[in-house]
Amino acid sequence: MNTHSQPLNERISALMDGDLPAAELDALLADLAQQDSSANDWHLYHVAGDVLRSQALAPQRADLAFLGRLELRLAQEIVASPVVLQPARELPATSPLAHVSANGPWRWAAGATFTVLVGVVSVGMWGGAAPTSPSQLAAVPAPIVDTAALQAAPVMLRDPELDALMAAHQQMGGHSAWQMPSGFLRNATYERPAR
Amino acid sequence: MKRLRLFAAPLFALWMGVLSSSAVAEEVSINAWLMRLHEASRHRTYTGTFVVSAAGQMASARIWHVCDGDQQVERVESLSGTPRATFRRNDEVVTFFPESKVAVTENRESLGLFPNLLKSNTAGIGDHYQMKLVGSERIAGLDAEVVQLLPKDTLRYGYRVWSEKRSGLVVQLQTLDPDGKVLEQAAFSELQLDAPVNKAKLTQMMAATDGYRVERRDLQKTTAKAQGWDMAKAVPGFKPMGCYTRPVALLAGAAGRAEQTMQWMFSDGLATVSLFVEAFDVRRHSREGATELGGATRTHTRRLDAWWITAVGEAPAPTLALFVQGLERKK
Amino acid sequence: MTEPSASPNDVDLLLVERTLAGDQRAYGLLVLKYQRRIQRLVGRMVRDVDLVEDIAQETFIRAYRALHQFRGDAQFYTWLYRIAVNTAKKFLLELKRNPTMSESFLSSAEEDETSRPKYEPSTEETPESELAAKEIAGVVNTAMDALPEELRQAVTLREIEGLSYEEIAVAMDCPIGTVRSRIFRAREAISAKVKPLLEKQTGKRW
């Protein structure tokens, strides 16, 4: 059944009940994740269903504020994970963090917060990793890798598809001067397990 | 470390001389210097503990390396993550996974390519990187020269390299983003040069696949042209280094998937980028664009008609974007 | 009608997969779907409303970290439920061990909010928020009562009885397309009434 002709929010409603053709899922999920209005419909319909089932499920506090608070913490998860040891402006356009919106209910971490956190994390991790001059380098003892900071870092989100390609890339990474020995070692140290 | 020999003293002196001379000689100096690092890594015998830290994650391994004339044998045992031991004899690589009792054998012919790249006149690493001696430091108890290789454009990352003074062996390597922040670091936390390593024993261990299921990961050598692809717009400095088809699933252990994937490799001498081309699959392929996987390695994905193209490499996001955009179907 | 369609569980799984692929907003959709159930669950174990919210937050953070372990063989909510119960137990244990812990934990959790607009402390919110919840429930019930019979029946069979579209079509003796459309119209009508109240809540919090 082709439901493309139906309004978006009707398709969201069908999606919730598992009545959407599999072929349409992806596009709709993408839409849900991108459009604030779609996400709001998703939220409202779920609230309606919850409240119909039990009055105790009525939101006592603002759901979106809960989500906003959670997102700030999630943003730190991302920051603390490897992903973003770089200035915010360099984030790829597809990054969820690029969806920063000042007013929308979907408050993904604001750029300013983000940048500050990046700073903190990188200092913590790399000690004297700032751009160096000879004298700076001489003054800094062996680069300090703050083990605590490294280990406290949470799990990174991974895509198995990309992992496979990355492993393939690293396996063949021998075209670089760094291959010997660091590159080979790096890859042997890093390589993902085969199961 | 009295066991250290003055292995490359003449070359070292030459190198220092070149370093302080004019920019005209720069390319020679970079190539000579890299060549020295390369030779050092091949011809030394050592054991050590190696730590790779890429923002937020850390992995370490123990290494035994022995060189005997032209033969090199190496054993790398992971100290973190899934237990595994990788053995290498020249280009032959076997990785043992004791938990799953799987041994994966590969032939990494690419390992031998590097010196050729340097020797060729067209290598031009000096066209894209500026080398600068920035000081000296002690790493893992050894005196090391610290050299920076900074990119001359924004298409690549910079590197900071700690090279053991007498042998030239790289004891620490950092990959730097354009702001000079460290994206990734690979370093020996402990290193014993000229340690007694028993080559016969390593070779024996490498062959001990009894009780293991041996998996071969065979690569088919091919050319991009034969596969119907061309780089319509070359990314400056990156040269094609080889093209293969391979079953990628074996690498990831992903179930039920063994389609052939084309892997076309490019390098500017220091950075490497792989371009993967697979058949587009709507169930698996949904996310186009850039991703960071942590550390210096990034990816960029794009759908092109019936194909799914992914660039993976140690290069800034825009560089990977150029790669996926530059690829063109010729058939 | 023989085309494969995804069950509601598949939708959760898809959202998990999308999150793992780097789309964080997909995780937000899961949070919007399950946060009320998790809060109610935790609310049965812990009385303090602020603590309930903290534990719920922690639950979703932990679930996020462990998301790659979610295999889709259990329902997402079942999986989340376990994480919530364990998180709440851990909190309660720590509170017991160290009575001052509660204060210090809460204050450290609040640090996250330094970059957000400030809002009034929540001490007096309890009765007010309960009122708000009651108000929402009242509005939903009123909206339900005002629905045409066939819409009310369709949405009841779906949301309260948990029937599938096919079963509802049989029960109501109408095509599946009609079921879909009735449920959708019912949801639209209800959410139109709820929306202003939620916006009011949001305004108060932010």
Q: Which helix (H) or strand (E) holds B259?
A: none
pLDDT digits over C168-180, tens only? 999 999 999 999 9
C-chain residues near B291 (CB < 8 A): 22
Does the beta-carbon distance from A180 to B286 stay under 8 Å?
no
pLDDT at B327: 92
Give yes or no for residue B302 having a pLDDT over 70.
Answer: yes
pLDDT digits over B183-201, tens only? 888 888 788 888 888 888 8
C-chain residues near A26 (CB < 8 A): 14
Give the mean pLDDT of chain A. 55
pLDDT tier at B140, thresholds 50, 70, 90: confident
pLDDT at C20: 84
Q: For residues A51 and B54, which has the higher predicted lDDT (pLDDT)? A: A51
Q: What are chain B's domains?
A: 13-214 (2.50.20.10), 219-329 (3.30.200.100)
Residue B22 CB partners (closer than 8 Å, separation 6+):
none
CA contacts within 13 A on the Cβ side of A61: 23
Of C37, C68, C187, the CB nearest to A57: C37
Q: For residues A79 and B141, which has the higher predicted lDDT (pLDDT)? A: B141
C21 touches chain B (CB under 8 A): yes
B-chain residues near A121 (CB < 8 A): 55
**Interface-testing mutation among A31, A159, A189, with chain B (most B C-beta atoms within 10 A):** A189
Question: At CB < 8 A and 24+ separation, what contacts does C140-143 make?
Answer: C140/A48, C140/A51, C140/A52, C140/A58, C140/C190, C140/C193, C140/C194, C142/C193, C143/C189, C143/C190, C143/C192, C143/C193, C143/C194
Does the beta-carbon distance from A58 to C36 stay under 8 Å?
yes
Of A17, A20, A26, the CB nearest to C183: A17
Percent of residues in chain C assigned helix, strand, coil, to nearest 5: 80, 0, 20
pLDDT at B138: 85
Which chains have 3+ CB pairs within 8 A of C? A, B
Q: For residues A115 and A54, which has the higher predicted lDDT (pLDDT)? A: A54
The percent of residues in chain B predicted with pLDDT above 90, rounded, is: 11
Of B57, B138, B299, the CB nearest to A150: B57
pLDDT at A186: 56
Give yes or no for residue B276 having a pLDDT over 50.
Answer: yes
One-letter amino acid at B261 equals: T
pLDDT tier at B269, thresholds 50, 70, 90: confident
pLDDT at A189: 56
Does the beta-carbon distance from B292 to A134 stay under 8 Å?
no
B 1-30 residues with CB < 8 A to A? none
* Chains A–B, number of C-beta pairs less than 8 Å apart: 282
Q: Say what the pTM is.
A: 0.48
pLDDT at A157: 39
pLDDT at C188: 95
Q: How far is B331 from chain A (nearest CA, A)?
A: 24
Does the beta-carbon distance from A29 to C18 stay under 8 Å?
yes
Nearest chain B Cα to C14, which residue? B283
pLDDT digits over C118-170, tens only? 333 334 445 677 788 888 999 999 999 999 999 999 999 999 888 889 999 99
Nearest chain A Cα to B38, which residue? A180
C62 touches chain A (CB under 8 A): no
Which chains have 3+ CB pairs within 8 A of B? A, C
Instruction: Give the count of beta carbons closer than 10 Å to the beta carbon of residue C174.
Output: 15
Per-residue pLDDT averaged across A16-33, rounded? 79
pLDDT at A142: 29
Highest-scoring range by mean pLDDT, B182-191, C16-25, C188-197: C188-197
C99 touches chain B (CB under 8 A): no
Does the beta-carbon distance from C22 to B286 stay under 8 Å?
no
A 126-155 residues with CB < 8 A to B? 126, 129-135, 137-138, 140, 142-143, 145, 147, 150-151, 153-154
Q: How far is B132 from chain A (nearest CA, A)?
A: 10
Give yes or no for residue B101 having a pLDDT over 70.
Answer: yes
B-chain residues near C18 (CB < 8 A): 286
B193 touches chain A (CB under 8 A): no
Give yes or no for residue C43 having a pLDDT over 70.
Answer: yes
Starting at the edge strand found earlier in the chain, the sheet holding B213-216 runs B129-139, B142-151, B158-164, B170-176, B182-193, B46-54, B57-68, B71-78, B85-89, B92-97, B102-107, B213-216
pLDDT digits over B278-298, tens only? 888 777 777 777 776 667 888
d(CA B248, CA B267): 21
Give yes or no for residue C94 having a pLDDT over 50.
Answer: yes
Give yes or no for residue C181 having a pLDDT over 60.
Answer: yes
d(CA B104, CA B106): 7
Longest dimension (CA), chain A: 71
The percent of residues in chain B predicted with pLDDT above 70, rounded, is: 80
pLDDT at A26: 76
Q: How far is B287 from chain C (nearest CA, A)?
A: 7
Q: Which two tokens stand for residue B182?
A: 């460290």
Does the beta-carbon distance from C201 to A62 stay under 8 Å?
yes
pLDDT at C2: 41
DSSP state of A178: G
pLDDT tier at C189, thresholds 50, 70, 90: very high
Nearest chain A Cα to C164, which residue? A17
Evaluate whether A145 touches B53 at the Cβ level (below 8 Å): yes
Q: How far is A144 from chain B (nearest CA, A)?
A: 11
**Interface-testing mutation among A34, A81, A161, A192, with chain B (most B C-beta atoms within 10 A):** A161
pLDDT digits over C63-77, tens only? 998 998 887 777 899
Does the beta-carbon distance from B286 to C18 stay under 8 Å?
yes
Q: Which residue has the tokens 């600068």?
A: B132
B286 touches chain C (CB under 8 A): yes
Give the mean pLDDT of chain B. 77
pLDDT at A178: 58
pLDDT at A188: 55
Does the beta-carbon distance from B276 to A165 stay under 8 Å?
yes
pLDDT tier at B24, thresholds 50, 70, 90: very low
End-to-end distance of chain C based on CA atoms, in angstroms?
45
d(CA B60, CA A189): 6
Query: Out of A62-76, A168-182, B216-230, which region has the weakest mean confidence (pLDDT)?
Result: A168-182
B284 touches chain A (CB under 8 A): yes
pLDDT at C176: 92
pLDDT digits over A131-167, tens only? 223 322 222 232 333 322 222 222 233 466 676 777 7
- As for the ipTM of the complex, it is 0.82
A 54-113 residues with CB < 8 A to B? 80-87, 90, 92-95
Q: How far is C23 from chain B (nearest CA, A)?
A: 9
Nearest chain B Cα to C21, which residue? B287
pLDDT at A47: 94
pLDDT at A27: 80
Give yes or no for residue C92 having a pLDDT over 70.
Answer: yes
pLDDT at A133: 30
pLDDT at B63: 84
pLDDT at C39: 92
B-chain residues near A98 (CB < 8 A): none
